[in-house]
Amino acid sequence: MLTIAMPKGRIFEEALQLLRAAGFPLPLEFAQSRKLILTSEEAQLTFILAKPMDVPTYVEHGVCDVGIAGKDVLLEEQKDVYEVLDLKISACHLAVAGISGQTLDVVTPKIATKYPKVAAAYYRDKGEQVEIIKLNGSIELAPLIGLADRIVDIVSTGRTLQENGLVEFEKVSEITSRMIVNRASYYMKGPKIQEMVERLKEIV
C-alpha cells in the first residue's frame, strides 16, 4: 500500500483522473467524498486529503510515502523531499500584480502574499527592498483596501485580477503540480513508487 498526501479540491480532482488514466482503479465516489482518508484496496493506494501547504510536511515526516503539491507550495515550504515528476496539472503562474497604472513611489513598498519566502527571494534577487505582508487568501483585496502596494499571487485565467481592477506587472514563476516522495520510502518502497512514476510518465 502506498500513502499519498494531496490537497482537496482542484488538484485532487485532476490527480484522480490522471491516476485512473495511468491504470489505477479508483472509485468515482472518491471525488465527492468528505472523508479525509480514502483507501482503495484494489489500487493499493490510501489518500490523505490535506491543506495544500501541509502536503510536503506529511511527506517529509514519512507519514505519507508520496505527495502531490503545486510547485508554488514546494518553493515556499522547502521541505526535504524528492521531487520526482512534473504532473503538468493545475497549471498557473505566480505573478506580481497591483492596481493598474499605480507606480511604486515609496522607499519600501508593501507586498501582500500567501508566499512570503518566495516573494522575499524574488525581491532580494532583484535587489529591491520591500516589506512582506503574509495573508492566507483573497490576496487581491490587499491593494484595493490600501494594505499593500503590490501582491505576489497565483494567476490562472486572470479573471480574479481583472474583475478586481488589478493588472499583472511581472511573472515570478510558472507553476504546475509535482509528485514528491519521502526519502526513506523512495528506497524502502522503491519498486512500487517507480512503477507509479513510470505509469504516470507515459500519460503526462
> Which residues in this chain contact ligand PRP in the complex, by CB under 6 A?
137-140, 153-160
Give me the residues that bind ligand ATP (CB under 6 A), please.
7, 9-11, 51-52, 70, 72-73, 90, 92, 137, 154, 156, 175
List, edge to edge, every strand of the sheet that includes 45-50.
Answer: 37-40, 45-50, 2-7, 66-70, 177-181, 82-86
Instruction: List the single partner that 72 binds among ligand ATP, ligand PRP, none, CB under 5 to 8 Å by kind.
Output: ligand ATP
Q: Name the residue with cell 471525488.
A: 31
CB of 45 to ligand ATP, least distance (A): 20
Closer residue to ligand ATP, CB minimum distance, 10 or 20: 10
Rounded Cα distance between 6 and 19, Å, is: 13
Least CB distance to ligand PRP at residue 157 (A): 3
Residue 135: which of ligand PRP, ligand ATP, none does it interact with, CB under 5 to 8 A by kind? Answer: none
Q: Which does 175 bind (CB under 5 to 8 A by kind): ligand PRP, ligand ATP, none?
A: ligand ATP
**Helix extents (H) in the chain:** 10-21, 55-60, 71-77, 116-126, 141-144, 159-163, 183-188, 190-201
The residue with its CB nearest to ligand ATP is 70
Q: How far apart are CA 10 and CA 89, in angstroms?
A: 9
